[in-house]
Amino acid sequence: MDDILTQPESPMPFAQRNIEFVLIACLVLVLGAAAHQRNLVWDNDISLWSDVVQKSPNKARPHNNLGNSCGEHGLYDKGVSELKEAIRLNPHYPKAHYNLGLSYYKKGFSDKAIVEYDKAIQLNPSYADAYVNLGVVYKDKGLIDEAIEHYKKVLELKPCDPKYIPAYVNLGIALREKGLIDEAILQYQKVVELKPNDALARNDLGVCYFEKGWVDRAISQFKIAIRMNQSYADAHYNLGVAYGSKGQYDLAFKEIRKARELSSKNRWESMLKETKIPSKGHK
């Protein structure tokens, strides 16, 4: 078989090499400038979604995401405007209604927030986060029964889901305020089962035990809460009250002094005004 002979390559002319070098250099500069511009645009999520909205003004999702980002940065008026636009473009968009409700709540417009959360649930009856937030709003308004109803719905939809531990805690707080201590204890016990290191839940469970007259159990929970968070003033205070109820005054004064050291003036005065052991919740 004959060998295939190839013609040797001739050297590239100097001028052509220079032209190709210039073209490559220009391309690098253009690509670098484009990358820099993208970095400026994407410097934060507000810039990113503003850029997307500018390029796709008739799509609901970019307006929703921009509105949500504005809300996360405290720009509630701008966020509300963008979320309303998202809903105008797509009235059947549950996330936009949810985010609008959240922005209204943060602006202090509880009734408007309720309307938007309800719309989100109408569009998506399994929207657990909307039920959580409705429970919080109702609790803030003093509508405890309505809050309990919505927290229970969350736990029906998301049983044993650690993400929704705040719903268990808030339900426990609401039940305790209604005087349903046994039911509240069940909720807090579920929390510490799902998240054993939750100091807030340990403290609140201790409060419930104390109100049942189970002082030793209460002391045990307050100690666990303090072990998890040594700066937890409420748990120190509650532990001091519990020791005092047993006549262990040296231990009681020690814990109450520690609570005083850790508390702001306003928080300390609030503690002293409490007729029962104070309790904090999650939101």
221 vs 54: CA distance, rounded Å = 54
Task: Give the per-residue pLDDT at 207.
Answer: 96
114 in a structural domain: yes
191 vs 83: CA distance, rounded Å = 34
4 in a structural domain: no
Same-domain status, 118 and 134: no
CATH number of the domain bearing residue 55: 1.25.40.10
Same-domain status, 117 and 159: no
Asked if 45 and 77 touch (Cβ cutoff 8 Å), the reply is no
11 in a structural domain: no
Burial of 31 (0-12, 13-18, 19+ CB in 10 A): exposed
* Inter-residue long-range contacts of 200-204, CB under 8 Å, 24+ positions, other chains counted: 200/169, 200/225, 200/280, 200/281, 200/282, 201/165, 201/168, 201/169, 201/172, 202/228, 202/235, 203/232, 203/234, 203/235, 203/238, 203/279, 203/280, 204/169, 204/172, 204/173, 204/176, 204/279, 204/280, 204/281
Q: What is the DSSP string of 142-176?
A: T-HHHHHHHHHHHHHHSTT-GGGHHHHHHHHHHHH
pLDDT tens, per residue, the chain with 283 residues: 333 333 333 343 444 444 444 444 444 444 454 444 444 444 588 889 898 989 988 999 999 999 999 999 999 999 999 999 999 999 999 999 999 999 999 999 999 999 999 999 999 999 999 999 999 999 999 999 999 999 999 999 999 899 999 999 999 999 999 999 999 999 999 999 999 999 999 999 999 999 999 999 999 999 999 999 999 999 999 999 999 999 999 999 999 999 999 987 556 555 555 534 333 332 3
Among the candidates 150, 176, 196, a domain finishes at 196
Same-domain status, 54 and 100: yes
Same-domain status, 246 and 221: yes
Same-domain status, 99 and 165: no
Cα 34–Cα 51–Cα 48 angle in degrees, nearest 5: 85
Same-domain status, 62 and 135: no
Task: Give the per-residue pLDDT at 70.
Answer: 92
174 in a structural domain: yes
9 in a structural domain: no
5 in a structural domain: no
245's enclosing H/E stretch is: helix 233-245
248 vs 234: CA distance, rounded Å = 19
Task: Give the per-residue pLDDT at 88.
Answer: 97
Q: What is the DSSP string of 175-195?
A: HHHTT-HHHHHHHHHHHHHH-
Name the residue type at position 172: G
Tell me the Ramachandran region of residue 108: left when phi exceeds 0, alpha when psi lies from -120 to 50, beta otherwise: left
165 in a structural domain: yes
Task: Give the per-residue pLDDT at 272.
Answer: 52
84 vs 96: CA distance, rounded Å = 8
Q: How many domains does the chain have?
A: 3
Among the candidates 178, 196, 214, a domain finishes at 196
167 vs 254: CA distance, rounded Å = 34
Same-domain status, 142 and 181: yes
Q: What is the DSSP string of 28-65?
A: HHHHHHHHHHHHHHTSSHHHHHHHHHHH-TT-HHHHHH
Range of the domain at 145: 126-196
Same-domain status, 189 and 220: no
For 63, the token pair is 């307006």
pTM of the model: 0.74
Same-domain status, 272 and 206: yes
Same-domain status, 213 and 157: no
Same-domain status, 120 and 73: yes
Among the candidates 148, 176, 196, a domain finishes at 196
Same-domain status, 206 and 279: yes
